[in-house]
Amino acid sequence: MKLPRTILLALSLALLAGPAPAQSRAADSLRRLLGAQPRPDTTRVRRLHALVLELAAVDAPQAIGLSQQALKLSRQLADTAGIGRSLFWLSILHRRQAEYDAARRYTLLARQLYARRHDRRREAKACLELSLIDLMQSNLTPALSWALQGLKLAEQAQDLVIQTQLRATIGSIYSKVGDYNSAIAVLQTTLRDGRRLGDQQVEAAALSSLASTYQLQQKWPQALRHYQQAVLVSRRMGDVKNETSNEIGLAEVYSLQGNQAQALRHGYRARALVRIHHDDYNRPGVELMLARSFLLSQRPDSAIALAGHALRLSQQSRSNGTISGAAKVLAQAHAEAGNFEEAYRYQSMFAAYQDTLAGEETQRKTSALRYGYELDKKQSQIALLNKTRQLQAQTSERQRQQLYALLAGLTGLLLLAGLLWRNVYIKQRANRNLNEKNAQIAMQRDDLTRALASLKAAQNQLIQREKMASLGELTAGIAHEIQNPLNFVNNFSEVSVELVAEFMEGPWQRLPESEKAYATELLDTLTENLQKITHHGHRADSIVKGMLQHSHTSVGHRETVDLNALVAENLPLAYQSFRAKNKSFHVKLTSDLDALVSKVAVVPQDIGRVLVNLYINSFYALQQRLSKHEAGYVPELVVHTKRVDHQVQIEVHDNGLGMSAEVQRKIFQPFFTTKPPGEGTGLGLSLSYDSIVTGHGGTLAVSSQEGQGTDVTICLPA
């Protein structure tokens, strides 16, 4: 489904830099002024900035060059305002070119400048720009961190415009991490404030993000209505890029509803706008949307072509959200086309990116940031209440002193003294109430801390189910597809044996004696062949059933299983799987299983997958060393189990090619692989590490010597 990316475009194009008009006579006039008056002063800096504003939307490279000139001149003149504006322009222009590292560098310089000058309003704008840069790359945790920092500064500066812009960004982040209720509440408030302020850019951004959030919740009427409103607002402003992005959203909603005619109509309109305006930002989104439509229309080849191109463009710009969507479409399209190897590769890529974008770790970090922000606000309120209480105490003390003076000089005014005493009593009661409120706030803070700890513990138990679900479904689908033709082979071989027996009992009796011997020899050979087919067919059927059992999606429930049996069962399964692709490969398998290792509480499907992955990695290393044709070399894989104190250990040893120290440091990193392109995704050991360490509370360690072999040790709580 489509991620709410339209908020990024609407904010990034206009919120920080103002409108970007087309190149006009104003640009020509500014060029003439700059040429006629070359004096290096602040007036020239302001004119350079005005010319950048005119060229930003039509000639970004020239606008970048002019901004560099303005920055250099401003530094020579020590013009702080000119330096800050030049840095902002360079950041915005580089971000529009998808040059995020340069954009981030210039924005950080601007933020440092305004922080030194204690200019909270412009520092908040710099935080907003940094948040947008990370949000365009789907780096949700730093994006939320910058947005919350900026919101705190904007609240201190009492700038409602920047607060509204930052809340629009925060609402989009909440939607991306799946907190839809919070996202809708924030975005509806942002939409109301944007309309009240007359800020059409904020209005368009809020409408687009609300539409995307409703789309993620499958609330199609609300999604369509908000996308249509966003298209109208963008068209009224002349914001073609945001209009294109919302046309893509309309096409995706219609496609998900099954209305392919409307989906293609809006999709082709979006593609036309991209081509006319050379919109490289929206090009991957258009191609990905059309790929989804072709996939739903049973046209996987067209979907593969478009999604593949969208993936390459997104990898160049490091747009993680579009990379994840393209990988998912490619996995589904290749599966429909029957190319299961490619489907598995792209499904693994999608699972890894999805976990990075909106997985448990991202949600935990964003929740912690949000909790920290709310806690800071409460602590500020507590500090304000304490200060008020101190002022009240000081006031009470002054009043008591005045009362004593009055009693000494005016003993007759007892009524006035009583009223003053009553006033002091009321204030003291208010102080007691304030202390009770402070205690309640502290108790709520402690409850929130305990709730967060409980949430972390619960999430650790669920992490493996999210990572392995797509892999298990793909394996089960392949096994089911194999089982149908295998059943036909088994059934027809058994029927053929019966037919031979019937022939022997009937027609064979009527053959001449001279032909019976030859016929008997042929029928015996045929019967023997059919029996072999039946034997191997049943063996293949048991392997397929093992695959189906192995592919069952883990629900995270632990079972008490015989760990030695689990280790032994998966070894021949992995060996046969590897030899299916490498017919000439043979290896000596040795199992040394400790009888003291009895029943262990684990998730058997997860541990089985980890073991199969480790076995296949060892087979690969053995095959690599075997290809060197060393004299006297015999490939061998040894599996040990043993019980040590309150732990059980599984050690997989091979005498393969081994690894260098540098490779061992990176071996558990996602996407790191030593295999050639196309032979590995770099996710196997990363997922295995998460399953053992996070899912089961154990450890996974690798020890290897280059050219000698590798030991992989798993430790699980007993």
Tokens of 325: 């969507």
- Indicate the DSSP class of residue 413: -
Better-scored residue on pLDDT, 548 or 633:
633
Average pLDDT, the chain: 79
Which of 343, 38, 384, 87 has the alpha carbon at shortest distance from 351?
Answer: 343
- Residue 197 domain flag: yes
State whether 623 and 487 are in the same domain: no
pLDDT band at 671 (very low <50, low <70, confident <90, very high): low
Q: Please say which residue of 311, 343, 361 terminates a domain.
A: 361
Q: Please say which residue of 551, 568, 585 terminates a domain.
A: 551
- Residue 417 domain flag: no
State whether 491 and 348 are in the same domain: no
State whether 569 and 701 are in the same domain: yes
pLDDT at 32: 85
- Residue 412 domain flag: no
- Residue 354 domain flag: yes
Tokens of 126: 């710099």
- Residue 710 domain flag: yes
Which of 21, 87, 88 has the alpha carbon at shortest distance from 53?
Answer: 21
State whether 708 and 620 are in the same domain: yes
CATH number for the domain including 12?
Answer: 1.25.40.10
Structurally, the chain folds into a number of domains equal to: 3
State whether 238 and 156 are in the same domain: yes
- Residue 375 domain flag: no
pLDDT at 563: 87
Contacts of 358 (CB under 8 A, 6+ apart): 140, 176, 177, 178
pLDDT in tens, 94-135: 887 778 889 999 999 999 999 999 999 999 999 998 988 888
pLDDT band at 357 (very low <50, low <70, confident <90, very high): very low
State whether 662 and 522 are in the same domain: no
pLDDT at 345: 74
List the domain range (segments joined by +) for residue 23: 6-361
Which of 213, 447, 478 has the alpha carbon at shortest distance from 335?
Answer: 478
Pair 638, 590: CB distance under 8 Å: yes
State whether 519 and 608 are in the same domain: no
CATH number for the domain including 650?
Answer: 3.30.565.10
- Residue 328 domain flag: yes
State whether 497 and 626 are in the same domain: no
pLDDT at 8: 45
Cα radius of gyration (the chain): 35
Residue 497: C-alpha distances to residues 524, 538, 561 (Å)? 10, 15, 41
Report pTM. Answer: 0.44
Pairing of strands 636-644, 588-593: parallel
Pair 284, 319: CB distance under 8 Å: yes
pLDDT in tens, 12-56: 434 443 444 444 678 888 888 888 888 888 888 898 888 888 888
Using the predicted structure, report yes or no on whether residue 6 has a pLDDT greater than 60.
no
pLDDT at 9: 40
The pLDDT of 267-293, averaged and rounded, is 73
pLDDT at 107: 92
State whether 513 and 613 are in the same domain: no
pLDDT band at 58 (very low <50, low <70, confident <90, very high): confident
How many CA atoms does the CB half-sphere of 542 hold within 13 Å?
9
pLDDT band at 648 (very low <50, low <70, confident <90, very high): very high
State whether 492 and 577 are in the same domain: no
Which of 100, 205, 88 has the alpha carbon at shortest distance from 143?
Answer: 100
Q: Please say which residue of 524, 551, 578 terminates a domain.
A: 551
Comparing 369-383, 503-517, 596-610, the range with the smallest average pLDDT is 369-383
pLDDT band at 546 (very low <50, low <70, confident <90, very high): low
What is the rounded distance in angstroms from the CA atom of residue 384 to the CA atom of residue 390? 10
Better-scored residue on pLDDT, 285 or 13:
285
- Residue 32 domain flag: yes
- Indicate the DSSP class of residue 553: P
Using the predicted structure, report yes or no on whether residue 463 has a pLDDT greater than 80.
no
State whether 545 and 579 are in the same domain: no
What is the rounded distance in angstroms from the CA atom of residue 369 to the CA atom of residue 364? 9
pLDDT at 108: 94
What b-and-e string marks burial along 700-713, b requiring 16 or more CB atoms within 10 Å of the CB? Answer: bebebeeeebbebe
pLDDT at 543: 65
- Indicate the DSSP class of residue 692: I
The pLDDT of 191-220, averaged and rounded, is 87
Cα torsion for 665, 669, 673, 678, to the nearest 10°?
-170
State whether 627 and 665 are in the same domain: yes
678's torsion region: left (phi>0), alpha (psi -120 to 50) or beta?
A: left
Using the predicted structure, report yes or no on whether residue 461 has a pLDDT greater than 70.
no
Portion of the chain with pLDDT greater than 70, in percent: 80
Kindly list the strands in the beta sheet with 709-717, ordered across the sheet, starting from the edge strand earlier in the chain. Answer: 588-593, 636-644, 647-654, 709-717, 699-705
